């Protein structure tokens, strides 16, 4: 049986959807509903989690399982995370936009207002460390957990990366895109349900270990040199 608060939230969503698109205060009401849903997700409401899961799977047309998924612990989404040593990291996949021969966040983050040229949105050579500065509603804390939104993201499969990139309306499609595999360690937890698709994890630390740029071998070679990433076996 859904919780009373979740039922009230769904009733408010129905009322909002039936209101006129030009109704006074519509944008403010939409933000109120987003904040309300996030609060339900933060307290672990199972119906809110299931609702968001369905929306992500419908939007990305996700299959029931991913054949090429990285091997991760099963319970990361349901826990406050695990401590992963640097010499035995987990691995995940990411994509970036490329500006001025640097890897940056693939699209603007409207929630934090951080542009792609901001230092926190730029991938650094060597080890990268997550900042808690922009983490919603939280003061200083040691690393990502299921009640926060910080952490360096990585996803489980190339199939998911391709579906996410194809469905992103915010990415500038004239900008080159790089794909990569990263090692993840420190505090590692599952996705932030209000922000991330299924098969996502978040970590305190990450390092780039593989890098690819489709149809631009010169840019790929330059980026690998900048980020000290070795070439593929076929190139050696």
pLDDT of residue 112: 44
CA distance 209 to 227: 9
Closest CA to 49 of 201, 200, 203, 191: 191
Could you tell me if 166 and 209 are in contact, meaning their C-beta atoms sit under 8 angstroms apart? no
pLDDT of residue 83: 92
Strand 102-104 versus strand 177-190 pairing type = unpaired
The kind and range of the H/E element at 123 are none
Residue indicated by tokens 């989404």 = 77
Annotated domain spans of the chain: 4-60, 76-235
Degrees, nearest 5: CA angle 95-112-99? 40
Q: Following DSSP, what letter does each residue of 196-218 receive, concatenated?
A: --SSEEEEEEEEEEEEEETT-HH
- Residue 155 vs residues 160, 194, 201: alpha-carbon distances, Å: 7, 16, 6
Could you tell me if 144 and 203 are in contact, meaning their C-beta atoms sit under 8 angstroms apart? yes
pLDDT of residue 90: 96
| pLDDT 10s digits, 72-102 | 887 776 677 899 999 999 999 998 888 888 8
pLDDT of residue 121: 76
pLDDT of residue 202: 92
What DSSP state is assigned to residue 56? H
Give first-to-last CA distance, the chain, whole Å: 59
| Tokens found for residue 109 | 């983050």
pLDDT, averaged per 10 consecutive residues of the chain (236 residues), comes to 73 66 59 69 74 73 74 78 94 88 69 50 90 71 79 89 67 70 94 80 94 91 93 52
CA distance 80 to 203: 12
pLDDT of residue 225: 95
pLDDT of residue 21: 53
Closest CA to 158 of 69, 29, 33: 69
CA distance 120 to 101: 17
pLDDT of residue 104: 87
DSSP three-state, residue 89: coil
């Amino acid at each position: 049986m859904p919780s009373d608060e979740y039922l009230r939230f769904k009733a408010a969503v129905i009322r909002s959807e039936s209101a006129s698109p030009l109704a006074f205060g519509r944008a403010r009401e939409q933000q109120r509903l987003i904040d309300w849903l996030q609060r339900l997700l933060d307290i672990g409401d199972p119906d809110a989690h299931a609702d968001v899961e369905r929306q992500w799977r419908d939007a990305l047309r996700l299959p029931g399982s991913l054949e090429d998924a990285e091997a991760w612990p099963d319970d990361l989404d349901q826990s406050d995370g695990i401590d992963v040593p640097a010499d035995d990291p987990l691995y995940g996949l990411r994509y970036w936009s490329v500006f001025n021969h640097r890897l940056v966040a693939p699209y603007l983050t409207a929630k934090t207002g951080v542009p792609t040229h901001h230092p926190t949105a730029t991938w650094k050579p060597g080890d990268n460390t997550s900042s808690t500065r922009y983490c919603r509603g939280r003061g200083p804390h040691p690393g990502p957990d299921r009640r926060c939104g910080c952490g360096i993201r990585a996803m489980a499969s190339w199939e998911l990366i391709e579906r996410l990139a194809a469905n992103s309306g915010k990415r500038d499609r004239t900008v080159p895109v790089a794909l990569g595999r990263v090692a993840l360690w420190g505090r590692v937890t599952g996705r932030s349900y209000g922000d991330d698709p299924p098969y996502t994890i978040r970590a305190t630390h990450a390092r780039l270990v593989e890098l690819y740029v489709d149809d631009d071998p010169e840019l790929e070679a330059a980026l690998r040199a900048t980020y000290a990433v070795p070439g593929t076996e076929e190139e050696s």
